[in-house]
Amino acid sequence: RPIETRKLRHLEACLRPESQYQKVKTGLDSVPWPYRALPESNLEEMRLDTVFLGRRLKAPVLIGAMTGGAEKAGVINRNLATAARNLGLGMMLGSQRVMLEHPDAWESFNVREVAPEILLIGNLGAAQFMLGYGAEQARRAVDEVMADALAIHLNPLQEALQRGGDTRWQGVTYRLKQVARELDFPVIIKEVGHGLDAATLRALADGPFAAYDVAGAGGTSWARVEQLVAHGQVHSPDLCELGVPTAQALRQARKTLPGAQLIASGGIRSGLDAARALSLGAEVVAVARPLLEPALDSSEAAEAWLRNFIQELRVALFVGGYRDVREVRGG
Ligand code: FMN
């Protein structure tokens, strides 16, 4: 089926180094991080547990939204879900449009079998809600996989740079709020790697959204991914680097919506990146692309990557002079 073939081509494109921003950086490198030569804490006792959307996580880490649809996507999702279960983390699923349109694709999103208790977040695109989707489809996306919440992704640049993309967005702000008001589970707004800007957050502020994932620039560029899929190479490299870098997006979001729950993602590659993102006010971080290769291999490989990442975060807090993760946020 075309939509499944497209998903597989997305995975292949994401594995290529050209899927990453080439010039724009997340800006996290220049976020100051303290160094304390005399820490008054014990590394292995550093508390990372965090309550997010009413659920307790053992570390403030979500597996980013990636895939679903094809059989290979099902293997990836089960490997990721198993790693999330073993480590007490949350997981975001990839876009469930394919599942709503082809019910047999459900199997590839069915991770509750291996991870009955994890915080699980479903996913649909904002553009779909301009093309006939409504509260019914949103409910199906969540109910059919027994998810706890739904993330709606905003991806205008990605849509604009693909053949036949969905580019009629006039009225989208009103539509998203209208749909979200009918839902009785948490709705999260996310970008896909070009960042949520301040004007967007202001426009959404009176909506019933539970959290915002800034998905900023500096990691995976979905504009680059779409061009790789369409042409085998990147045709408009300057457009592909547009967006709000992750560190800037977090600072703006903190200022624009001081009380909002923020997810930091887009180019989070190490535990120190995560620590810095938390210091800018994020509640949790999400990691996508670095987990793709390990997840194609095995749940053990995905778990090993995440264990190392979490240990790096712990070390960053320890030598930063923090006693637990709560002390870091909002600094
Ligand atoms: N974001 C979505 O909202 N829905 C998707 O279906 C989706 N699919 C993705 C598939 C892959 C293989 C990757 C790498 C990312 C995907 N994303 C999707 C975007 C990520 O959730 C994330 O916002 C973006 O990749 C930036 O994070 P990163 O730099 O850690 O990869």
Share of the chain above pLDDT 70, in %: 99
Q: How many domains does the chain have?
A: 1
The rounded distance, in Å, linking the Cα atoms of 126 and 189 is 9
Residues 86-124 have pLDDT tens digits of: 999 999 999 999 999 999 999 999 999 999 999 999 999
User: Rounded to whole angstroms, how far apart are CA atoms 150 and 261?
Assistant: 15
> Whole domain around residue 45: which residue ranges?
2-327
Return the pLDDT at 144.
98
Find the helix or strand (DSSP H, E) in which 123 lies. strand 120-125
Q: What is the CATH number of the domain that holds 313?
A: 3.20.20.70
Please tell me the residue having the least CA distance from ligand 1 atom 8.
66
Q: How far is the CA of 268 from the centre of ligand 1 (A)?
A: 12
One-letter amino acid identity for 310?
Answer: I
Q: Output the pLDDT for position 324.
A: 94
pLDDT in tens, 11-68: 999 999 999 999 999 999 999 999 999 999 999 999 999 999 999 999 999 999 998 8
CA distance 231 to 91: 31
CA of 39 to the centre of ligand 1 (A): 36
Asked which of 147-161, 269-283, 317-331 is least confident by mean pLDDT, the reply is 317-331
pLDDT the model gives residue 331: 47
**End-to-end Cα separation, the chain, in angstroms:** 49
Contact (Cβ atoms closer than 8 angstroms) between residue 63 and residue 80: yes
pLDDT of residue 70: 84
- pLDDT digits over 213-238, tens only? 999 999 999 999 999 999 999 999 99
Of 79, 34, 83, 92, nearest in space to 58 by CA: 83
Helix (H) or strand (E) holding 279: helix 271-279
The residues with which 122 forms a beta bridge, in sequence order, are: 150
Assess contact for 14 and 229: CB atoms under 8 A.
no
H/E/C letters for each residue in the chain?
CHHHHHHHHHHHHHHCHHHECCCCCCCHHHCCCCCCCCCCCCHHHCECCEEECCEEECCCEEECCCCCCCHHHHHHHHHHHHHHHHHCCEEECCCCHHHHHCHHHHHHHCCCCCCCCCCEEEEEEHHHHHCCCCHHHHHHHHHCCCCCEEEEECCHHHHHCCCCCCCCCCCHHHHHHHHHHCCCCCEEEECCCCCCCHHHHHHHCCCCCCEEECCCECCECHHHHHHHHHHCCCCCHHHHCCCCEHHHHHHHHHHHCCCCCEEECCCCCCHHHHHHHHHCCCCEEEECHHHHHHHHHCHHHHHHHHHHHHHHHHHHHHHCCCCEHHHCCCC
Atom 22 (ligand 1) nearest CA:
192
- From 194, 222, 270, the mutation candidate for ligand 1 (largest count of ligand atoms within 8 A of CB) is 222
pLDDT for 153-191, tens place per residue? Answer: 999 999 999 889 999 999 999 999 999 999 999 999 999
Determine the pLDDT at residue 330: 60
Measured in Å, residue 246 CA sits from the centre of ligand 1 at: 14
92 CA closest ligand 1 atom index: 21
Check residue 19 and report its DSSP letter: G
Q: Which residues line ligand 1 (CB under 6 A)?
A: 10-11, 14, 64-67, 94-95, 123, 153, 190, 192-193, 215, 219-220, 265-268, 287-289, 292
pLDDT tens digits for range 281-322: 999 999 999 999 999 999 999 999 999 999 999 999 999 999
CA angle 192, 260, 248 (to 5 degrees): 50
